[in-house]
A and B are shown apart, each in its own frame.
Chain A
Amino acid sequence: MSPLVYHALVGFVVLNAVIGMVTYVTLLERKFAARMQSRIGPYYVGWPHGWLQPIADALKLMMKEDIVPRAADRWVYNLAPLAFLVPCILVFATIPFAPGLGVADLNIGVLFFLAVSALEIVGLFMGGWGSNNKYALLSAMRAVNQIISYDLPFIFAALVPVVLAGSLQLSVIVEAQRAMYGAFVFYPVLGQLAFVAFLVATLAAENRVPFDILEAESELVAGFRVEYSGMKFALIQLGEYAHMIATSFLGALLFLGGWLGPGPAWMGPVWFLLKAVVVFLVVTWVRWSFVRIRVDQILAISWKLLLPATLVLLMATALVVALRSTGGA
């Protein structure tokens, strides 16, 4: 088998696995949220516990009418879901599920992840602008506002494990955590603080409650995707959930030791998925426990608290690593 065919095949498998996972993560989230609110959640479509619900939802979205507003900027409006989805899916290319198991274990892995997911805002903006709808536009404005504010803390928090491991390659970062009881989150002080900062910035980057002002239902209907229907809406939802899962994967790789864990080697991917699900559920837990905060509070948290804190944290980590490598500490 030529390497080209092999890589195409691996990419195809990972792509479909991701889409399947995204579909079922929606069910997981609905069930989890329902439990938190003493409900049952989806139950009747498929036995037991409505396990066919995501498939029913997908079929429903495929059969819906595709509406393009007459005043929309047609090209921009139609391309926006794709421009939004592609970066969200592309980041999975660099995620290793186990040693040697992944599409491409780039030596700039973390940088690739951060850079490509920064492109997502372009698609979001195209949707908000192209719809020619004031709610969508306001939502896109808020999104830009929020993403400018939270990109830097997110990057700084993600760089703490990078500095500790001395590499941008995700597999090297995971292997470096062997020395730290299998997870950088156990690193005294630095690890825990960085993980908390990472989680907060993740909430903001994923536009989840309490940072979901850009799709605040009570003021902006559904935010930047208010005009989208049918499959285009489904693509945007897919992109959003794919981004969520990708960030959970990143958190599991950077802070929780990825595939490291007790048991034989084949357990690696299982451990990795479990850790990613834990990160995802923590984020979901916060989502269903807190209320939305105001725009000025969101900006204040980022610029006055999170950004200086992560900057100091990063510099402290660099200092610790420098002292350790020269044998000073």
Chain B
Amino acid sequence: MTAEAVAFVGVAVVLLGSSLAVVLTPNLFHSILYLAVALVATGVVFLLLDAPFLFGVQLLLYAGGVVTIVVFAIMLTERLVGRTIRQASRYLINGALLSVAVFAGVAGFLVQAPLAGARPGVSGDLTLAVGRALVGAFAVPLELLGVLLVIALLGALYFARSEP
């Protein structure tokens, strides 16, 4: 096994373990901490795929930002209000069956697909290429995503307005 494969197995174990812990821990706060671990591990997967820019963005937006906001939401609901919210994972068996089915489906596709060769090597500054692509070929999708986010923001504003 190459060093890359060993690293991937290590990251995959951490990622799967922490993802399972997110849904199985009864303590909501611990669940968020495992989520942070899972998101950082996802970032490391990007790093293994020679995409350091995505690694940075993953850390900045998800591990840093989203976790902060989720934790913030818990703070407003749990200890400060005095009501403890436990996470109870009901329908465990159904959920497990569903995820096994999804895994089987994805694995089936992968087995049938022709075996890809070695990953093509990286040439040039990838960060520069990502930046050029975002304002070049992918400018329209990027703008559309921006519009989508603005709509989401307006929706949040609508729900958060004070009732007369």
Q: Which residues of A contact B (CB under 8 A)?
A: 73, 76, 106-108, 111-112, 114-116, 118-119, 121-122, 125-126, 129, 137, 140-141, 144-145, 147-148, 151, 168
Among the listed A73, A112, A144, which residue makes an inter-chain contact with B75, where contact means beta carbons less than 8 Å apart? A144
Interface of A is mostly: helix
- Interface residues in B1-52 by Cβ distance below 8 A to A read 29-30, 33, 36, 40, 52
Among the listed B57, B59, B125, which residue makes an inter-chain contact with A116, where contact means beta carbons less than 8 Å apart? B59
Having A108-B56, A118-B65, one finds 4 other A-B pairs with CB under 8 Å, namely A119-B59, A122-B33, A144-B72, A145-B72
A107/B72 contact (C-beta < 8 A), A121-B64, A129-B29 known: no
Residue of A nearest to B64 (CB): A118
Report whether A76 and B30 are in contact in the complex, using a CB–CB cutoff of 8 Å. Answer: yes
User: Which residues of A lie under 8 Å from residue B80 when comparing CB positions?
Assistant: 137, 141
Number of A-B contacts (CB under 8 A): 71
14 A-B contacts (beta carbon < 8 Å): A73-B29, A106-B52, A114-B56, A115-B58, A116-B59, A119-B64, A122-B33, A122-B36, A122-B67, A125-B71, A137-B75, A141-B80, A148-B69, A168-B127
User: Which residues of B lie under 8 Å from residue A126 when comparing CB positions?
Assistant: 33
Indicate if B60 sits at the interface (CB-CB under 8 A): yes
Among the listed A108, A121, A148, A151, which residue makes an inter-chain contact with B52, where contact means beta carbons less than 8 Å apart? A108
Report whether B29 and A76 are in contact in the complex, using a CB–CB cutoff of 8 Å. Answer: yes
Say how far A146's CB is from chain B's closest CB, in angstroms: 11
Say how far B36's CB is from chain A's closest CB, in angstroms: 5
A148/B59 contact (C-beta < 8 A), A106-B52, A107-B52 known: no
A118/B60 contact (C-beta < 8 A), A76-B30, A141-B75 known: yes
The CA-CA distance from A108 to B79 in the complex, in Å, is 39
Report whether A121 and B59 are in contact in the complex, using a CB–CB cutoff of 8 Å. Answer: no
The CA-CA distance from A105 to B57 in the complex, in Å, is 18
The CA-CA distance from A107 to B50 in the complex, in Å, is 12
A148/B72 contact (C-beta < 8 A), A118-B63, A122-B67 known: yes
User: Which residues of B lie under 8 Å from residue A140 when comparing CB positions?
Assistant: 75
Residue of A nearest to B43 (CB): A115
The CA-CA distance from A184 to B60 in the complex, in Å, is 25
Report whether B75 and A148 are in contact in the complex, using a CB–CB cutoff of 8 Å. Answer: no
The CA-CA distance from A148 to B52 in the complex, in Å, is 24
User: Which residues of B lie under 8 Å from residue A115 when comparing CB positions?
Assistant: 55-60, 63-64
The CA-CA distance from A151 to B68 in the complex, in Å, is 11
